[in-house]
Amino acid sequence: MLADALAVAGLSFSEEDQKAMLKAVNRNLTSYEELRKLEIPNDVAPPFYFSSLVPGMKVNRTREPLHFSTPAVKRPANLEDAAFWPVLNLAQLLKTRQVTSAELTDMYLARLHRYNEKLNCVVTFLDELARLQARQADQEIAAGRYRGRLHGIPWGAKDIIAVKGYKTTWGSDAFKDQVLDDDASVVEMLREAGAVLLAKLTTGELAQGDRWFGGQTKSPWNLSEGSSGSSAGPASATAAGLVAFGIGSETSGSGRAAGWRPSCLIPAVDYIQSQRARMMMMMKLAEATAAADVYLVPANSGGGPAAGRGAAPPTDSGTAGRVCCQANRHLRQGA
């Protein structure tokens, strides 16, 4: 077998070298077989630790309280004008009961359905689940059980993130009917925080690029171009104001490939399946960021100055209003 493989590859080695190769191959094969006998549950995280501290460096390890700013917000006459607002502002609308989670959910679902034909950013709509979670959030908020800044906020998940009972396709035709019996840790934690899941958003096939079994996901800045990927769906949907925030992933360019507008966004990190050890960072980002949501924004084809999702509500004269108008204009004109 080794000789045949070498011949196909056009390689030539001495008999002694081939014997050394076979010895190493057989030794490794035994190790692989033993390794595959181990059953490791999906919710067991790999060893993952990184510290930027070097020997001799001293830091203050005292736990300090986390303080959030409280923006002054007023519900717009047309709720869809808030589609591009940052999570902090939407959360304040909910907390002050100027809007219900059900209203926000219906508004974002309507935008998802309306613009998905152009953007191709949704694999699976979760309307029924979303409305159920929104009703629960409204009941809890009305009863004074406010869970925090993500309570009642609608979001979308990249389709490599498992949601129990619903398809997780990895963007591949080979797995388009796959249903996993697990929730990713980020799904569990966002559910515990009261967030409302609207849809499974596209990923490039097997987390590569922006092409999946349903076609190519488009950039809302320029519909003739793809949104890049593999976090194609969260990037496109969040930039177009179809979800309040999106969760993507980054391993080797899945977020960075499209380029980022650094003034007002934070790319999501790698949160696959049930690796709980790495989920806390995502929650901290989602809760603590005022000027940016935790999301991915395609920047490969233009957009407004300091673009991305809004640093100010569209009612202001700042960037967010311009970005909101420009992204919507591209969608309406099909440019």
**Binned average pLDDT, 10 residues per bin, the chain of 335 residues:** 84 86 85 86 71 84 84 95 94 96 98 97 98 98 95 95 94 93 90 97 91 94 88 91 88 54 34 38 44 36 32 31 38 44
Residue 158 falls in the annotated catalytic set: yes
Supply the pLDDT for residue 156. 95
Supply the pLDDT for residue 304. 31
Supply the pLDDT for residue 252. 65
Q: Distance between CA 244 and CA 86 in Å, rounded?
A: 7
Encoded tokens for 117: 């034909």
Residue of 158, 218, 231, 236 marked catalytic? 158
Supply the pLDDT for residue 333. 46
Supply the pLDDT for residue 73. 94
Q: What pTM value is reported for the model?
A: 0.68
DSSP 257: G
201 phi/psi in degrees, rounded to 5: -100, 155
Residue 230 falls in the annotated catalytic set: yes
Taking residue 2's Cβ as centre, other Cβ atoms within 10 Å add up to 12
Supply the pLDDT for residue 326. 39
| Gyration radius from the chain CA atoms | 23
Supply the pLDDT for residue 196. 98
Residue of 185, 227, 230, 301 marked catalytic? 230
Bridge partner residues of 179 (DSSP): 167
Supply the pLDDT for residue 255. 58
Please, what is the angle between helix 101-119 and helix 87-95, to 10°?
A: 150
Residue of 219, 227, 249, 254 marked catalytic? 254
